[in-house]
Amino acid sequence: MHSGCQVQCTAGSLVEMTVRQKIISILETAPVGFRDLAKQLKISEKALADHLFHISRTLKSRQKRLVARPFRCLACGFTFKDRKHFAKPSRCPVCRSTRVELPEYRICRQG
């Protein structure tokens, strides 16, 4: 038994691992909104978006999946279905409204 990564990682990335593990355990329990999650972890929304991106890649190898409801425009109902990253869209491409609903995230088992 060996823990290769933990030995090689710097102290800085070990701290990040802990935040990601926290996010995973929270989202496995119940779906949480993007902003609530950032508040709960006391990190910026930008940092959270970055963590979620890495988590979604990590989970693929564990038969789990990070599921997000897509961002939706509250003014016209447009959904950002093709969005590839986790940062909040600044405005709706259809009606230019900035009232974009924040998504909820959860973690599901695959298959």
Q: Does 24 bind Zn ion (CB under 5 A)?
A: no
Q: How many residues bind Zn ion (CB under 5 A)?
A: 8
Place of tokens 């109902």: 77
Q: Which of 107, 7, 1, 2 is nearest to 55 (CA)?
A: 107
**Which of residues 24, 92, 100, 107 is near Zn ion by CB under 5 A?**
92
Those residues whose C-beta lies under 8 Å from the C-beta of residue 16, and which sit 6 or more positions away, are: 51
Supply 75's token pair: 């003014």
Q: Does 74 bind Zn ion (CB under 5 A)?
A: no
End-to-end CA distance of the chain: 28
For Zn ion, the closer CB: 73 or 107: 73
106: enclosing H helix or E strand: strand 104-109
CB of 87 to Zn ion, least distance (A): 18
Q: Does 26 bind Zn ion (CB under 5 A)?
A: no
**Which of residues 66, 73, 100, 107 is near Zn ion by CB under 5 A?**
73
Q: What is the Cα–Cα distance from 67 to 56, expressed in whole angstroms?
A: 9
Q: Does 55 bind Zn ion (CB under 5 A)?
A: no
CB of 84 to Zn ion, least distance (A): 19
Give the interface with Zn ion as residue ranges (CB under 5 A).
Answer: 73, 75-76, 78, 92, 94-95, 97
